[in-house]
Amino acid sequence: MREIRVDNVVIGSGAAGLAAALRLWKLGEENTALVTENMKSGTSRNTGSDKQTYYKLSLSGEDRDSVHMMAEDLFSGGAVDGDTALCEAALSVRGFYNLVELGVPFPCNEYGEYMGYRTDHDRGRRATSAGPYTSRLMTEALEKALGETGVRILDRTQAIRLLTFENRICGVLCLNLIVSCGESADAGGNYCEATKDPYLLIRADNVILATGGPAGMYRDSVYPASQLGASGMAFAAGVKGKNLTEWQFGMASLRPRWNVSGSYMQVLPRFISTDPDGGDEREFLTEYFDDQGTMLSLVFLKGYQWPFDTAKCRGGSSLIDLLVYQETKQKGRRVWLDFRDNPGKAPIDFDSLSEEAHTYLEKAGALFGTPIERLMHMNAPAVSFYMDHGVDLAKEPLEIAVCAQHNNGGLSTDANWETGIRGLFAVGEVCGSHGITRPGGSALNAGQAGAIRASEEIHMRSIQRKSKAPDLPGKQPGAADEEWMERLRKDALSFAARPYKASGNERPAEVWKELTEEMSRDGGMIRNPAGISEALKKTREYLQDYGKRMARPSLKESSLWFRLYDMLLSRFVYLTAMRDYIVSGAGSRGSCLYTDPEGALPKEGLPEIFRFREDGGKYSGMVQETYLEEDSTADAFRAVSQWRPVRPVPKPDDFFENQWREYRKRQGL
C-alpha cells in the first residue's frame, strides 16, 4: 500500500469536482490532488438533453430579479434549507460568468446580455443553455483550465473508503485501477501515476466529494453507464443522508441513454409496445383515452413537463409515464416511440389539440406531416443525435422506459457544503441541496456554487491555521501524530484485505444485475410498502454476509467487488429512508408515487399499485435525514431516519458599512 500526503483531495472529475479543484488552486491551495476513476467518465461529461439547461439569476432585458427572489424560488421546492438556497442564488452569477470566461459558449445578444428562458418551477427567465451538451462543454473548459495548474491528478484511481478520526476526515483509501485492471500507465491519455501497488492511502486535511448521485442502484437509468456513485463510503464514515427519497424519473431511450423530452414529445410520436421479442405490436395509449386530441395534448405536454410528477397524474401529463411503466414493469412488455407514422397511422386532427399544443405547433410551422417530418422541421439536431448513435428515427422505432434521472437528495451539508464530518465536503449531485421539486437546470448551478463555498471555506481555515495552532485530530502534525495515523493504516489495510478473505460463490456482476432490476421496480417511480420492506431485508442480508456470500475476486474483479459493497451501503440507507417515509404517512409527492390502499386511482382501469394520495405539503417544511447507526458492523447493519425543520432563508443585515466591517474581519484584513 503506497502512502502520500496532500492538504486537499477532490474526488470526482465532473463539473463540480473540476470547479472545486480549480478554485482551490486559484486560492493558493496548491497542495491539492484530484482523484478520479476516469477523467472522461461521469454524468457531466456524458449526458445532456434536448436543450440542457443551466439555471442562474436573470441577466438580460427588463426582467426584475434579485438574489432573494431566486433563493425563495429554490426554497419553495419544499424540504430545502434556506441558507443553501441563498448561497446558490447569490453565487449563481459568479459561477456562470466564470464558465463564460473559461470559454463555455452560453449565448448573449450583441450588447452582451445573457438572455434566458423560463424553465419548470421558475417564475422568471433564468434558464440558459449552450446546447444539448452544456455540461460536457463545462467539464471540457474546466479540465482545460485545471490542466494549466499544478493540481495533482490521480486518474484511474477508485476511492473505496474514507478514513476518519474523532469525527474529522484524515484520508482516503483508494484502489489503483492501473494495477488492478492490468492497464498501461497512460490508459485514456490522462495523468496517471503508475506504481506497482494496488492500494493508495492518501493522508489529507480536507476531502471534497464530487462523486455524483448513486445512479448504479437502478437498472432503468438515463445516467451514463459510467456514472455509478460512491455515496456508500460516506454513509460508512457516518455522514447523514438528506431527502434521499426525492428523485426525478422520466421517459428516456435505453440505447443510447437520453431524455426524450422537448421536441421528441412535442412532435407527437406514436407510442407502441411489443412482447419481449419485438412482436405483437399495439398502440397501448389509445386504450385509456376517449379521444385522440386529449391523448396527444398530454403527450405534447411531456415535452415541457418531462419529470414524472404525482401532481400531474390525475388527468395530467404524468399519466403517460404511468402507462409506460405499466407496460414495462407490470406487463413485461417493451415500449417504443415510433416517429415514422402518426398515432393511429392516420393524419392528425390538429384542431382537436389543446390550445397550448395547437398554438405552439402552429407558431413552429409544424401542423403537417408525420412525427419525423415535424421533428426534422423543428429540431433537426435532435434527429442527428440519434443518427450519430446508430439509430435512424426515420427507419426504426426507439425503445424507451421510465428511468432514474437525478437525485434531488444526497448527503446532508451545511451552507459551506460541509458534512457532519469536519473537513469532509460534498458538492454536485452527491450533495442533497435540492428538495421535492427544483427548477430545471438548478443542479448545474448548485455544483458550481458548492465548489465556490467549499473551496473558500477550506482556504479560510488554511489562513487561520497559519496564525494559530494546527487544527488536527488529537495531536500536532509530524512525529507526534503517528499513533492515530497507525490506527488509520490498520483500518485501511483491514478494509483492503476483505476481498481476499471472501469465501462464497456469488459473482458481483450477477448480483449487481439482480439488485438493480429490483431497485427499479421497488424503489423507483412507484413504491409500495411490501416491495420496499422486502428489498431492505435482502440488502441487509447481503451486507451482513457479504464476505461469506461473495466469491473471492481476482485482482481485476476487485474494483467491482468494492463497488458492489458501496452500492449495497447506499441502497440500504436509501431504502431505510423510503420505508421511514411510508411510515410517516406523508403521502405521495414530487416524482415518487407511494401505493396507498386508502387513496384513489389516477384513472379507472389502472392497477391497484397506482392507487395513491397526495401529501398536501404535509412535510414540505421538514427535512428527512437518514444515517447508519454508529454500531453498524458487518454483523448488524442498522440505519435510522429523523426529521427536522428546514433552515429558513437568512435575512442578513445589508447595510453596507456593517457588512464591509464583517467582511474585513472574516478575511483578516
Condensed to tens digits (0 to 9), the pLDDT of residues 452-510 reads: 999 999 999 998 887 765 554 444 444 446 778 888 999 999 999 999 999 999 999 99
Euclidean distance between CA atoms 283 and 272, whole angstroms: 4
Domain end position, chosen among 347, 373, 401: 401
Domain range spanning residue 607? 502-645
Q: Is 123 helix (H, G, I), strand (E, B) or coil?
A: coil
Residue 85 domain-assigned?
Answer: no
Distance, first Cα to last Cα, the chain: 44
* CA gap 168, 179 in Å, rounded: 30
Region 280-286 average pLDDT: 97
Please compute the mean of the pLDDT values over residues 579-603 and round it to a whole number. 95
What integer is the mean pLDDT of 21-43? 96
Domain identity same for 275 and 387: yes
Distance CA 127, CA 440 (A): 8
- Per the structure, the count of domains in the chain is 2
Q: Verify that 270 and 387 share a domain, yes or no.
A: yes
CA 272/CA 345 separation, integer angstroms: 12
In a domain, 655, yes or no: no
Residues 6+ away with beta carbon under 8 Å from 315: 602, 603
Residue 485, pLDDT score: 84
The per-residue pLDDT for 118 is 86
What's 239's DSSP letter?
A: P
Strand 54-55, strand 247-253: pairing: unpaired
Rounded-to-integer distance, Cα 247 and Cα 408, Å: 5
Read off the pLDDT of each residue in 540-554 and give the average, rounded to a whole number.
95
Q: Is residue 37 part of a domain?
A: no
Whole-angstrom CA distances from 248 to 251, 309, 404, 436, 578 are: 10, 9, 6, 9, 15
- List the beta bridge partners of residue 249: 404
Q: Is the pLDDT of residue 221 over 90?
A: yes
Q: Is 617 within a domain?
A: yes
- Note the pLDDT of residue 198: 92
Please list, in sequence order, all residues whose beta carbon lies within 8 angstroms of the beta carbon of residue 267, skipping any fewer than 6 positions away.
Answer: 339, 366, 371, 372, 374, 375, 378
Residue 36: Cβ within 10 Å count: 27
- Is 266 in the same domain as 383? yes
SS3 (DSSP) at 35? strand
At residue 654, the pLDDT reads 86
The rounded Cα 325 to chain-centroid distance in angstroms is 21
Q: Are residues 530 and 396 in the same domain?
A: no
Helix (H) or strand (E) holding 448: helix 442-467
Average pLDDT of the segment spanning 340-345? 97
Please say whether the beta carbons of 324 and 333 come within 8 A.
Answer: no
pLDDT per position as a tens digit, 533-546: 999 999 999 999 99
Q: Taking the model in full, what pTM does it have? A: 0.94
Q: What is the CATH number of the domain that holds 637?
A: 1.20.58.100
Burial class of 215 by CB neighbour count within 10 A (0 to 12, 13 to 18, 19+):
buried
Residue 186: which pLDDT band, with cuts at 50, 70 and 90?
very low
Is residue 650 reached through a cis peptide bond, with omega within 30 degrees of 0 on the bond before it? no
CA dist 400 and 392 (Å) reads 15
Establish if 11 belongs to a structural domain: no
**Does residue 569 fall inside a structural domain?**
yes
CB atoms within 10 A of CB 229: 23
pLDDT class for 179, splitting at 50, 70, 90?
confident
Q: How many CB atoms lie within 10 A of CB 275?
A: 13
Residue 176: partners with Cβ closer than 8 Å, 6 or more residues away: 2, 156, 157, 195, 197, 198, 199, 200
User: Is it the case that residue 309 has pLDDT exceeding 90?
Assistant: yes
| pLDDT confidence bin for 668, thresholds 50/70/90 | confident
**Which residues, other chains included, contact 214 with Cβ-Cβ below 8 Å and sequence gap of 6+?**
228, 229, 230, 231, 232, 407, 567, 570, 571, 574
Of the three residues 362, 380, 401, the one that is the final residue of a domain is 401
- Angle among Cα 326, 229, 121 to the nearest 5 degrees reads 60
pLDDT tens profile 58-77? 999 998 999 999 999 999 99
Lowest mean pLDDT among 40-44, 46-50, 398-402, 537-541: 46-50
| Domain shared by 259 and 386, yes or no | yes
Residue 22 CA, chain-centre distance (Å), reads 21
Cβ contacts of residue 138 below 8 Å, gap of 6+?
15, 44, 99, 104, 444
Q: 255 with 370, same domain?
A: yes
Task: Please check whether residues 371 and 261 belong to one and the same domain.
Answer: yes
DSSP string, 347-390: ---GGGS-HHHHHHHHHTT--SS-HHHHHHHHHHHHHHHHHHTT
Phi-psi region of 78 (alpha: psi -120 to 50; beta: other; left: phi over 0): left
Tell me the three cell numbers of residue 34.
484530484
Distance CA 669, CA 379 (A): 54
- Residue-level pLDDT at 468: 64
Report yes or no: 448 and 19 within 8 Å, Cβ to Cβ.
Answer: yes
Please check the confidence at residue 222 and state whether its pLDDT lies above 90. yes
Q: For residue 399, is pLDDT > 60?
A: yes
- Please say which residue of 401, 428, 461 terminates a domain: 401
Mean pLDDT, to the nearest integer, of 285-309?
95
Q: Give the torsion sign (CA, 331, 333, 334, 338).
A: negative
What is the full DSSP assignment across 603-624?
STTS-GGG-B-B-TTTTTTEEE
Annotate 488-546 with three-state secondary structure. Answer: HHHHHHHHHHHHHHCCCCECHHHHHHHHHHHHHHHCCCEECHHHHHHHHHHHHHHHHCH
Residue 306 lies in a domain: yes
Residue 228 lies in a domain: no
User: Is it the case that residue 299 has pLDDT exceeding 60?
Assistant: yes
Question: Could you report the per-residue pLDDT of 615-638, keeping only the tens digit for each?
Answer: 999 899 999 999 999 765 555 789
Mean pLDDT for the chain overall: 93
Contact 43, 262 (CB under 8 A): no
List b or e across 4-32, with b for residues whose CB sees 16 or more CB atoms inside 10 angstroms: bebbbbbbbbbbbbbbbbbbbbebebebb
| Banded model confidence at residue 187, pLDDT cuts 50, 70, 90 | very low
**What pLDDT, on the 0 to 100 scale, is given for residue 28?**
97
Q: Which three cell numbers stand for residue 542?
A: 447481503
